Amino acid sequence: MALRWRSSFSCNIKEIDNQHKRLFEISSKLNILAPISSKIDFKDEIVEVINELKEYAIYHFDYEEKMMQKFNFEDFEKHRLQHNAFVKRVLELEQEHLKFNRSQTVISIIDFLTGWITAHILKTDMKYKDFFNDIGIY
Ligand SMILES: [Fe+2]
Ligand SMILES: [Fe+2]
């Protein structure tokens, strides 16, 4: 499943939306590599994209967490635990891929990444939308 940013993903905070769009852009690179990875060895490229996504996710999560903490958003701790679990899983996937390098691994990585990012934005990030908008942060 390719991730395409739609207005339903908007948290109505410009910088956050831009960062989410960037996450979608990076993960879409995997969708291009996945169908051809079984025929040609794209191990280095795939590992590179997973790493890029991991690094950018860490940057983005840190940005969100600092904002939530600064304004005492009540669900901060729960939200932060979700971020941590994602980074841990991406690290594991990276290791698994380095070991096995099968197209199946790539597909399961894409499924996990796209599923998690989509669900997290729609269910968890959305919880701070009104909170921040109400205090004038857009
Ligand atoms: Fe987010
Ligand atoms: Fe988040």
Which tens digit of pLDDT belongs to each residue from 110-123? 889 889 999 999 99
pLDDT band of residue 83 (cuts 50, 70, 90) is very high
% of the chain surpassing 70 pLDDT: 92
Instruction: Identify the nearest ligand to the CA of 11 by its number.
Output: 1
- The answer to whether the beta carbons of residues 20 and 135 sit under 8 Å apart is no
Burial class (CB in 10 A: 0-12, 13-18, 19+), 111: exposed
> 117: how many CB neighbours lie within 10 A of its CB?
21
Reported as a single tens digit per residue, the pLDDT across 23-48 is: 999 988 888 877 776 666 777 888 88
C-alpha 91 to ligand 2 mean position (Å): 18
C-alpha 35 to ligand 1 mean position (Å): 28
Burial 4-15 (b: 16+ CB within 10 A, else e): ebeeebbbebee
Domain with residues 12-28+43-134, CATH architecture: Up-down Bundle (1.20)
Residues 6+ apart with CB under 8 A from 52: 26, 29
C-alpha 129 to ligand 2 mean position (Å): 11
Reported as a single tens digit per residue, the pLDDT across 47-80 is: 888 899 999 999 999 999 999 999 999 999 999 9
Residue 32: per-residue pLDDT = 82
Residue 110: per-residue pLDDT = 82
